[in-house]
Amino acid sequence: MKPIARSLALPMALAGLPFLLVACAESGAEPGSEAEAAPAAASADVFVGDRSVGCLEDPACINRLHPDIPMVADADPGERIVFHGRDAFDLTLDPDEMSSAPAKPHEGAGIVHALTGPVSINGAQAGDVIAVTIESLEPDSVGWTEASTFGFAGEEFGAETYFIVWRMDDEYATSDALPGVRIPNASFPGVMTTMPDAELTAEVLAREGALFAEGGAGLPPDVIEATPQALCGSDGTAPDECLRTIPPREHGGNMDIRYITTGSTVYLPCLIDGCGLAVGDFHYAQGDGEVAGTAIEMGGTMTVSVEIVADPPDLSHGPHYEGPSSVLAIPSERFHATTGFPLKEAGEVPANLAYLESQKLAGLTNLSADVHLAARNALRAMLDYIVKEYGYTRTEAYMIASVAVDMRIGQLVDVPNVGVTAILPLDIFVDRE
């Protein structure tokens, strides 16, 4: 039997700060504790995260990545770890008070993503690979979605910024702002990551910095709302080295893959001793592509178990994952799909390619093997279909696509016109025959 409580070494700078880290054996949770309130997780060994305070007050909440971020817990291989996670922006919402708004009630994106961790895996060393199996993800009762120009091709589709709140249970999500739509529960974590080492951190800063300097999309280090503040804040020791969590990288991160869900196992690299496992950006549901920029964003409680892999896969090109084939299916008995090819109007320069300042792009009406352009055209056709067939506004259609439509590659070999398809599950429309 494991001991009722395990020791936790924290840096002196964190001593005395409020946080929740409980280790239980059998029914060792204190009466009235958060552990007791979550029966499905009552037998877990390690609890991480304190949602009674905001992210910036919780030492187990981080929104930047760096090798020197202090570990807030440790777990043995095979132990169950329960992460109490916030939504990406750490919002507190009441659907009875607000069903929609012109924009989310939080200015800026400095807080993104409010992750829980990092946890040190005992015995794991730099160079190892860990297998993280998701045992469960229990959703909160409230979620949200925002459409904005931050989304995929948002500047081209005529969609306006719009924010809606969802009511959720274990089966479905509905929103007073989107009548007639019911989204089935397909909860998963958008972010699963280990901490980068100093070498990868320097490489990322160099390559993403060079891209940003040339006009490409990117998010360089930013001290606004950065945590841990002692490392990444304006008075921190390494504010210019703390990586933003928006893009996924070799260490994992914001992969936003809906198939990494309950029953799936993710293989992540250990780049530092202990690995530094952190998770967050929980989603109740998302279509492949998350095209509006957000899914159904939520907080929740996720339980995982971790093993050190004896004969690991090669993760040099990014994390691997595996699981039951059932997670690959669309949540519907019927669907409607559109297709797209890399075609455009003469004189048009796709926004994602404008930074290259090509002398050839504008004059072409067909780009060679451009999956991004093909996806834009498939999505444009899908938005047209939803607006015409179901009567939603273009912005509402954009949000429906973000939480329910799967953008999938049809083929990559029929050059120049590679193909992308957008798949809409029709069973989400509950007021139609």
293 and 413 housed in the same domain: no
Comparing 43-57, 117-131, 221-235, 261-275, the range with the smallest average pLDDT is: 43-57
Q: Residue 164 in contact with residue 178, Cβ under 8 Å?
A: yes
Q: For residue 433, is it within any domain? A: no
256 and 297 housed in the same domain: yes
309 and 384 housed in the same domain: no
pLDDT at 17: 33
Q: Dump pLDDT digits (tens) for 350-380.
A: 999 999 999 999 999 999 999 999 999 999 9
Binned at pLDDT 50, 70 and 90, residue 157 comes out as confident
Query: pLDDT at residue 160 above 90?
Result: no
Average pLDDT over residues 268-294: 98
Query: If we measure between CA atoms, which residue out of 413, 414, 411, 403 comes closest to residue 339?
Result: 411
Query: pLDDT at residue 400 above 80?
Result: yes
Q: Rounded to whole angstroms, how far apart are CA atoms 371 and 429?
A: 29
Range of the domain at 395: 335-356+363-428
87 and 166 housed in the same domain: yes
Q: For residue 394, is it within any domain? A: yes
Q: What b/e readout covers 310-346, taking b as 16+ CB neighbours within 10 angstroms?
A: eebeebeeebebebeeebeebebeeeebbebbbebee
Binned at pLDDT 50, 70 and 90, residue 43 comes out as low
What CATH number is attached to the domain comprising 369? 3.10.28.20
- The total domain count for the chain is 2
Query: pLDDT at residue 414 above 80?
Result: yes
What average pLDDT does the chain have? 90
377 and 265 housed in the same domain: no
Does 308 or 1 have the greater pLDDT score?
308
What CATH number is attached to the domain comprising 102? 2.60.120.580
Of the candidates 283, 313, 328, which is a domain's last residue? 328
392 and 296 housed in the same domain: no
310 and 404 housed in the same domain: no
Query: If we measure between CA atoms, which residue out of 297, 238, 235, 278 comes closest to residue 106?
Result: 297
Q: Rounded to whole angstroms, how far apart are CA atoms 120 and 79?
A: 12
128 and 24 housed in the same domain: yes
Determine how many CB atoms are found less than 10 A away from the CB of residue 239: 18
Percentage of residues of the chain with pLDDT beyond 70: 89
Strands 188-193 and 252-254: antiparallel
Q: Residue 89 in contact with residue 114, Cβ under 8 Å?
A: yes
N-terminal to C-terminal alpha carbon distance within the chain: 56
pLDDT at 167: 98
Containing 149, the helix (H) or strand (E) segment is none
Sign of CA dihedral 366, 372, 378, 383: negative
Q: For residue 209, is it within any domain? A: yes
Q: Provide the 3-class DSSP secondary structure of residue 354.
A: helix
Residue 230 phi, psi (nearest 5): -65, -20
Residue 403 phi, psi (nearest 5): -95, -10
